[in-house]
Structure 1
Amino acid sequence: MEKGKGVAFVRKWAIDFTDSSNTPSSRDIPDPPGFSRVSIEQDDSSLSRQKKDAESSWKLQKAWEVAQAPFKNLMMMGFMMWMAGNTVHLFSIGITFSALWQPISALQGVGKVFEPYKDKKVDLLGPKLLFIALNLGGLALGVWKLNSLGLLPTHASDWVSSLPPAQEVEYSGGGIPL
């Protein structure tokens, strides 16, 4: 026969999906040995549990990273304050008040910082305590710099204007009586 005429060319391994009337449904075909549909449903629940556990461990890890972030800021601020020196001028005062303001504002927003990491399975007490401790360390560094600049009233001479005048202990008069 000539090519293309007469008998149609049929592939040996081809499957015809157009006529589904004489093919058995998927329910009629038995599962292969060792396969169970129940185990798939159990695997889905264990996978979702594993996914939730992985998510909670990720949240805890990120919470610890956020809690340790003030340490980098502490080191940077300490270096900047050291570079500013101990003389009172605009640059050193600006750095010092920035070193005081940043920990104060961070301490006010502790709840907002750790809000994305809240979960029933994640204990945020440790990261929050570390975050607070590092920010208090930054605050102490700023107060130390204020003291080294001489801007903290730590001596009695700093309070002279608020002290009452000293009482006279002696009275002397002299001269020639008239």
Structure 2
Amino acid sequence: MEKGKGVMVGSVGRRWGIDFSDNSTSPSSRDFLDPPGFSRASLDHDDSSLTRQNKDAESTWKSQKAWEVAQAPFKNLLMMGFMMWMAGSTVHLFSIGITFSALWQPISALQSLGKIFEPYKDAKVELLAPKLLFIALNLGGLALGVWKLNAMGLLPTHTSDWVSSLPPAQEVEYSGGGINLG
């Protein structure tokens, strides 16, 4: 088989074959005229508008995902509140474990705030409001955990909790109810 300039000649070869290794005689693609009705200017304009639309769609998606991430602690807040209610207010291993879990989760989420919203950074996406909502919901979860600690009596709220020589605070307990008609 003999190679010609751009055409393969021989009895075994293909009838129409092109050798692309010889660039000296083959015309470049820019020498060909565009087909009728085709305009490269309109193609470039369409690409730029598609690129702009893609960027707008991506920034909209990032904004929506940032809001979803910001609202995620609300679900955790409801679940943790239900678990603390089910655990009761007595001091035992299960209720203490749930309470410290309720305290630990918001603290660790607040520490990793930058990493959580890192994938959604964009010039067109405003992350301040989702971050503030995320912080507020996590602070609400932290407040729920502190309230549970107080309900179990594990927070030092009286001076007798700090100074051993003072007597403990007296529990004031009263019961009301019933109607006194006489």
Match of 2:84 in 1: 81
- Higher-RCO chain (CA-CA 8 Å, sequence separation at least 6): 1
Aligned equivalents of 1:140, 1:74: Cα separation in 2: 10
SS at match of 1:160: coil
User: In the alignment, residue 155 of structure 1 is paired with which amino acid?
Assistant: H
Q: Distance between the aligned counterparts of 1:30 and 1:157, measured in 2? A: 93
Alpha-carbon offset, residue 19 of structure 1: 8.2
Identity of aligned residues (%): 79
Seen in structure 2, the aligned counterparts of structure 1 residues 37 and 88 have a Cα distance that, compared at 3 Å, is same
1:121 maps to what in 2?
124
The residue aligned with 2:11 is none
Q: Secondary structure at the match of 1:88?
A: coil
CA displacement at 1:30 relative to structure 2: 4.6
Judged with a 3 Å threshold, the aligned counterparts in structure 2 of structure 1 residues 120 and 153 are, in CA distance, closer, same or farther, namely: same
Other-structure match for 1:18: 16
| In structure 1, distance between residues paired with 2:17 and 2:96 | 85
Larger Rg: 1
**Alignment counterpart, residue 60 of structure 1, candidates 60, 63, 70:** 63
Which blocks of at least 5 consecutive residues in structure 2 are unaligned? 1-14, 19-28, 167-182
**Aligned with 1:115: secondary structure?**
helix
What SS does the corresponding residue of 1:106 show, helix, strand or coil?
Answer: helix
Residue 96 of structure 1 is matched in structure 2 by 99
Match of 2:36 among 25, 31, 36: 31
TM-score by length of 2: 0.71
Unaligned runs of 5+ in 1: 1-16, 164-178
TM-score normalised per structure 1: 0.73
| Alignment partner of 2:161 out of 139, 158, 162 | 158
